[in-house]
Structure 1
Amino acid sequence: LTELGLGLLTVLLLVNSLLPHPMLWLLYVVAGLTSALAGIQQPALDALMARIVPHDQLTAAAALNSIRWQLSAIVGPSVAGLIVAFAGLPVAYGLDLLTFVVSTLLAVRLAAAPPAHDAERPSLAGIWAGARYAWQRKELLGTYAVDMVAMFFAYPNAIFPFLADDLDATWALGLMYAAGSVGSVLVSLTSGWTSRVYRHGRMVAAGAALWGLAMAAAGALPNIWLVLLCLAVAGGADMISGLFRSTLWNQTIPDELRGRLAGIELLSYMTGPQLGQVRAGSMAALTSVRTSVWSGGVACVAAVGLLAASLPKLMAYDSRTNPHALKMRAAREAREASPTAP
């Protein structure tokens, strides 16, 4: 249904692009509705993954999903830019509409994933129950908090055009936006080692700290190629943190709460980068572009270190001994062993 909704929004963009005077306000409306549909779709996808992927392969599944996402982030805008340049906006939107037709037809063919027999009906009380559960799980709160501070202090994408200008490398702006995705893809493609790591909380914090260090270096270095390298390292570090964050969630959150917790995670995922760009722009206006970037990276490292020191349950998390992980593994094995299991 969300894919169908996104396709209908693309129809609006296509129609708008064909008007003699396209309406600017419609772009804002479509952007808001797109975010709303993504907010509905993403928790469902996250909840589905843990239902169909074996317990000990969730990290690998997260890596594969990341490759799909990052390659789309690199290839999609590049191809779209070429189509717009050579064929125009209506053709670009028309082709985009065709992709949604295909994705909707494929989604319709997906086998149903019925809720567990003890699942509750959706309600406001259920959302509150999910929030209470998250509050009681300090290691879960730690993953949300680490991600939030990393994005708030060290997500300067909004001022990349000014950083490129400051480095006298306006030609490299596209590369600056793509560098993080390149680093993420490289980590995802070489992520086999992650299945041998069990202290996921430490890796979440380590990845976020490395993200901050790389961003601090990107703001301090005067050479554009070194800056691009730092941005790629930052993207890889963020992917490391994200892989282990996703694994910790999927291996420990009960099925009946997974969608609600995915919604909370999406809230932190969406607000952190937006607030981070506001911080980066405001800091750049008060000081300078490069100061905003490097100081944000330093603040990120300090904040992650403070969280690591104040959240011992996150640092002590071990998927081999954590009671929530063991309970989920046992439930999965029992379900798979049952002859009536879906």
Structure 2
Amino acid sequence: MSQGVKEPRAWMIDTRPLGVTTFRRTWIGNGASYFGFQFTAVAVPVQMYAVTGSPTWVGLLGVAGLVPLLIFGLWGGAAADVVDRRKLLLISSAITWATTLALLAQAVLGVRSAHLLLALTAIQAAGFAVSSPARHSIVPRIVPEPLVPAANTLNYTASTAGGVLGPLAAGVIMGIWSTGAGVEVAYALDALLFTVTFWATWKLPDIPPVVSPAASASPEKPSVGLRGIVTGLKFLVTQPVLLLSFAVDLIAMVFAMPRALFPAAAEQFGGGSAVGWLYSAIAIGAMVGGLTSGWISRVRRQGLALIAAVVVWGLAIGLSGLARSLWLMVLLLALAGMADLVSAVYRQTIMQTFAPDHLRGRLQGVFTVVVAGGPRLGDLRAGATADLTSVSTSWVGGGLVAAGLAVVLGLTSPALIRYRPEQDRADDR
């Protein structure tokens, strides 16, 4: 470890990054934003299911967000390497906020249009896709490198805490009010809480791009266009560790993300607050995992830990689909959430510490496409498979396939299993 950086105690979450004022503000803002967004994340599929009565239409919400993620995630990553990341965050956050207000307006006006919900979901995804690379790529700029895993753990824990409380509160809202009034309240709360994110972003210092010596000597200037994106992709395809870490996440999310099935599954438990518990369950586990995550920064075989976490995720998801009790289903989904927290922290940390800063935004853009796009493909797969077979078959089969593929990937691709941070390799020499 670097001088002045003490080891965290035992298994408790490492809070040292909160001593950095800039990080502490962004942590508060991101946590409030994610808590608010969960109201919309529950309200949109609930409203879509109320309008259409079809899990496939709920799954199409994932597809609606996928194309904007592919385009604007890559573009946003290139932009984050060229322009001031604070300014980029302010602009992209404004787009997301405006979309939430539009969702509120259509609900208040009683517009029962599945196509409008798809369109607004796509616009919201575009705003998220632009902001996410900048938001995550600033972490190594505002905390010391040895604290990056702890900072990522704190970020994921705060977001999952919002993911616990938000859906639960949304479930209470859906239980108290009718579906129409419930989604209106949910959208309004999301819009209100998003102001905290604006405050935190506004208080950020300027974060201009860093030009590496190699880049400054190059006749080509950094670009936010296709050339800049291609430069990042060229670097990515030469790095097996990064490619494999992206691949294992795609496997986990495409095959084992069951959230498109939650509205249908909740009906067997009486609907209402049950849907809130299902949407909260994974986040509950992730929050518990985060609060007991002091060990995460001490793991040296980060690639192996990533593979193991994805295997546990897939098995827990598969078993939860067999549960006939709401609380057993919630418990198994929570176990999956704990595994997801571990895999998410290592994926993010590997990407942030492996990539040089002048390429970090572009690689974070690809990371955003994978991390946010994978679950949307998973929504489509889960919904379509459920309509063709059954909710249980889609749910259980997807989890088991994900676990099996993760094992195969780990056994046939040793680069990721053998990966350790550069600092640990240097300490061994």
TM-score, normalising length from structure 2? Answer: 0.68
- Deviation of the 1:270 alpha carbon: 2.3
Match of 1:135 in 2: 237
Name the stretch that deviates more: 147-156 or 4-13: 4-13
CA distance in 2 between partners of 1:218 and 1:100 (Å)? 33
The answer to whether 1:313 aligns with 2:407 is no
Change (3 A) 1:179 1:115: same
| CA-to-aligned-CA distance 1:82-133 (integer Å, 9 cap, x gap) | 6685687666655544434443243222100121133624231121111111
Structure 1 residue 164 displacement after superposition: 4.3
Q: Which amino acid aligns with 2:231?
A: A
Contact map agreement 1:6 1:100 (CA 8 A) in 2: no
How far off its partner does 1:81 sit? Answer: 6.0
The answer for the alignment partner of 1:104 in structure 2 is 198
Is contact 1:187-1:240 (8 Å) kept?
Answer: yes
CA positional deviation for 1:34:
0.9
Rounded to whole Å, the distance in 1 between the matches of 2:192 and 2:423 is 48
Q: Is the 8 A contact 1:4 1:100 kept in 2?
A: no
After TM superposition, give the deviation of residue 253 of structure 1 in Å: 0.7
Aligned position for 2:359: 257
The Cα shift of 1:216 comes to 1.8
**Which aligned pairs between 1:36-115 and structure 2 lie closer than 5 A?**
36-79=126-169, 93=187, 95-115=189-209
Alpha-carbon separation, structure 1, partners of 2:182 and 2:380: 32
* Farther off after superposition, 73-82 or 188-197: 73-82
Partner of 2:392: 290
Q: Residues 290, 97 of structure 1: CA spacing in aligned structure 2 closer, same or farther, 3 A cutoff? A: closer
In the alignment, what sits opposite 1:302? 404
Q: Distance in 2 between matches of 1:236 and 1:122?
A: 37
Q: Bigger shift: 123-132 or 282-291?
A: 282-291
Aligned residues between the structures: 322
Counterpart residue identity of residue 106, structure 1: A
Structure 1 segments unaligned to the other structure (5+ residues): 327-342
Contact 2:248–2:310 (CA<8 Å) still a contact in 1? yes
Question: Contact (CA 8 Å) 1:169, 1:224: kept in 2 or not?
Answer: no
Quote the Cα distance in structure 2 between the aligned partners of 1:107 and 1:144. Answer: 28
Superposition deviation, residue 150 in structure 1: 1.0
Match of residue 374, structure 2, among 272, 287, 290: 272
SS of equivalent residue, structure 1 residue 114: coil
Unaligned runs of 5+ in 2: 1-90, 216-221
CA contact (8 A) 2:304 2:416 kept: yes
Please give the alpha-carbon distance, in whole angstroms, between the structure 2 residues aligned to 1:82 and 1:229.
20
In 2 relative to 1, CA 93–306 (structure 1 residues): closer, same or farther, beyond 3 Å?
closer
Q: Tell me the equivalent position of 1:151.
A: 253
1:283-338 residue CA offsets vs partner (Å, 9 max, x unmatched)? 33343322222222221111001111221110110115688xx6xxxxxxxxxxxx
Q: Counterpart in 2 of 1:201?
A: 303
Which digits, 9 at most, give the CA deviation of each residue in 1:110-168, with x for residues without a partner?
A: 100121133624231121111111111101011110000111111122123444455x5
Amino acid at match of 1:28: L
Cα contact 2:171–2:276 (8 A) shared by 1: no
The answer to whether 1:124 aligns with 2:226 is yes
Counterpart amino acid of 2:166?
G
Distance 2:183 2:378 in 1: 31
- CA deviations on 1:47-67 (whole Å, 9 max, x unpaired) are 111211211111111111112
Name the CA shift for 1:99/1:253 in 2 (closer, same or farther; >3 Å).
Answer: same
Q: Flag the 1:223–1:101 CA change in 2: closer, same or farther, 3 A.
A: closer
CA distance in 2, matches of 1:159, 1:91: 23
User: In 2 relative to 1, CA 88–260 (structure 1 residues): closer, same or farther, beyond 3 Å?
Assistant: same
Contact kept, 8 Å, 2:93 with 2:128, in 1: the verdict is no
Counterpart residue type for residue 285 of structure 2: G
Looking at structure 1, the residues matched to 281 and 287 of structure 2 have their Cα atoms a distance apart, in angstroms, of: 10
- Distance in 2 (alpha carbons) for counterparts of 1:298 and 1:216: 6
Percent sequence identity is: 36
